[in-house]
């Protein structure tokens, strides 16, 4: 199954390790993981959202980190 990771990135200094930890767990479970924390820095928020919506469109499921409700995305 293809799984997108959803969680707070903006304003979260530890987001890369949080997303990477979930990615490793999902991969061990045999999933193909789409991790938005791997996107390059320097884009505008609306550009990230455009890319992330496209990433979600190709996934079968979303894995929500605990802080996803605090995410403006």
Per-residue DSSP letters for 4-67?
EEE---TT-TTHHHHHHHHHHHHHHTT-EEE-GGGSPSS--HHHHHHHHHHHHHT-SEEEE-GG
Question: How far, in whole angstroms, is CA 63 from its chain's centroid?
Answer: 8
Q: Take residue 18 and report the two structure tokens written for it.
A: 């949080």
Contact 15, 38 (CB under 8 A): no
- Give the pLDDT score at 43: 95
pTM of the model: 0.90
- Give the pLDDT score at 68: 77
pLDDT in tens, 6-55: 999 988 999 999 999 999 999 999 999 999 999 999 999 999 999 999 99
């Amino acid at each position: 199954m293809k799984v997108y990771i959803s969680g707070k990135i903006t304003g979260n200094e530890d987001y890369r390790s949080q997303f990477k930890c979930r990615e490793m767990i999902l991969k061990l479970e045999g999933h193909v993981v789409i991790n938005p924390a791997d996107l390059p820095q320097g884009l505008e928020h609306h550009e990230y959202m455009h890319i992330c919506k496209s990433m979600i469109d190709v996934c079968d499921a979303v894995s929500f980190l605990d802080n996803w409700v605090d995410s403006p995305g």
